[in-house]
Amino acid sequence: MFDNVDLKLNCEEAPGVDLLHEIPARLTRLSETTFADGTVSISGYLDSIKVRVTGQAVKIQDSSLCKWFLGDNFKGLSRGDTRRAVEKLSDLLLLPMDRAAVTRIDVAQNLIMRHDKELYFDHLGSLQYFNRYQQNNGLYYSNGNNTLVFYEKVHEQQVKGQPIPEMYRGRQVLRYEQRYKRRLLQTFNLPELRASLLYEPGFYCDLVNRWRSEYEKIKKINDIQINYSMIKTKKDQANQAILWYVQQRGGELAVINEIKEAYKRGELSKKQSHDLRQQVEEACKCKSFTSSSDVILELDKKVKEAARFYL
């Protein structure tokens, strides 16, 4: 399930190799940069993989290891694929890339869905310790070190002018990615993280489980049912009134954001903002008047199946 994997091989891991003079000869589309302190950096490509070379290190960065090895990134790198991809990098660069430090990992999978991405976004709520924000083609959860992203893969390919595999043409393809870009050693509680660890069974399975687990922690937004036959108490009536208002204003997320904006404008105190948000959230969890969304049940199933396939 790996996509982008950034690697850094320090010169100490390749004794006797003059990185700056030997490695660029194995690359194409070279460009050279000389910095103010005299340091030279040469960038080039190994097919679609971007490689940057200095006298101190070789870096694989900003490229999809999956696309380079499998031809596209509609599929994910399995554990065996990852091992073979690192071995191929080593053979082509004549370097021990299994010894390279891992500086970024993207765990991702494409999910063929029944509906447009917006319908799923509307039912994916908050995630504790993460900031949620939505853009034109994606829904993001970020805490600085770790980012979860949901977006429409076919649309992305079309925008980039890249080919779409036949089985995905005309389909709704929702991609779910977990991106580790910073503090990887602290995140995984490791003294070092080298490329060879990516295809160790225990570590690989842990990453797949984390990918599934983080999705499961996202608060799911229930469908609202305005059902006056279920009203038995004043509290039931209050919850129905709140739910009706939530429906009219565009859903739970929209109302929560309205309350937050009112607090930022000084129209509500911190306590008032908290109490109102809590009241909305409690009403939207009321089992008598809400139900699990079919689209979330579909997405739950797809994520579980994908994780099970790659374990």
Amino acid 30 reads L
Over the stretch 73-123, which tens digit does the pLDDT of each residue have? 888 899 999 999 999 999 999 999 999 999 999 999 999 999 989 889 988
Three-class secondary structure of residue 37 per DSSP: coil
- Distance CA(94)–CA(175), nearest Å, equals 34
Residues (pLDDT < 70) of the chain are 225-230, 288-291, 311
Three-class secondary structure of residue 52 per DSSP: strand
pLDDT on residue 168? 86
Count of other CB atoms within 10 angstroms of residue 288: 13
Instruction: Give residues with Cβ within 8 angstroms of 137, minimum separation 6.
Output: 117, 151, 152, 155, 156
Three-class secondary structure of residue 290 per DSSP: strand
pLDDT on residue 239? 76
Contact 243, 227 (CB under 8 A): no
pLDDT on residue 226? 65
C-alpha distances (whole Å) from 64 to each of 3, 68, 211, 215, 268 are 5, 6, 18, 22, 46
Tokens representing 290 are: 């809400």
The residue written with tokens 């799923």 in the block is 120
pLDDT on residue 245? 78
- Distance CA(287)–CA(224), nearest Å, equals 10
18 burial class (0-12, 13-18, 19+ CB within 10 angstroms)? exposed
pLDDT on residue 249? 75
The pTM assigned to this predicted structure is 0.82
Burial code (b: 16+ CB inside 10 Å, e: under 16) for 63-91 equals bbbbbbbbeebbbbbbbebbbebbeebbe
pLDDT on residue 290? 65
Three-class secondary structure of residue 47 per DSSP: coil
C-alpha distances (whole Å) from 174 to each of 76, 117, 156 are 14, 7, 11
Contact 293, 120 (CB under 8 A): no
- Distance CA(53)–CA(48), nearest Å, equals 16
- Distance CA(213)–CA(228), nearest Å, equals 37
Three-class secondary structure of residue 255 per DSSP: helix
